[in-house]
Amino acid sequence: MKYAFLLLLASVAARAGEAASPPDGEALSACASAIFEEASAYSGRRDPKVVHVLPEGETARDETDRAHFSMELGGADWERIAPALGNLQTRLDARWHPPSDIAIPGVRVRVKEPRKDDFLGYRDFFFSFWPPGYDPANQVALVLAVFGPTPHGARAACHLRRQDEAWVVEKKWVMSWL
The reported pLDDT for the residue numbered 100 is 92
CB under 8 Å to 11, separation ≥6 — which residues?
Answer: none
| pLDDT (0 to 100) of residue 121 | 63
pLDDT tens profile 5-42: 333 334 433 344 444 578 999 999 999 999 999 998 88
**pLDDT tens for each residue of 66-119:** 677 777 888 899 999 999 999 998 888 777 889 999 999 999 999 987 665 555
Q: In terms of pLDDT, which residue wins out, 123 or 56?
A: 123
Q: Which of 175, 168, 178, 148 is nearest to 69 (CA)?
A: 175
Question: Is residue 127 within 8 Å of 51, Cβ to Cβ?
Answer: yes
What is the pLDDT at residue 19?
A: 44
Rounded CA-CA distance 147/104 in Å is: 15
Query: What is the pairing mode between strands 50-53 and 108-111?
Result: parallel
Alpha helices by DSSP H, the chain: 2-20, 24-43, 66-72, 78-91
Q: What is the pLDDT of residue 52?
A: 86
Higher-confidence position of 160 and 88: 160
pLDDT digits (tens, 9 = 90+) for 142-155: 999 988 888 777 88
Q: d(Cα 67, Cα 18) in Å, to the nearest integer?
A: 34
* pLDDT for 156: 93
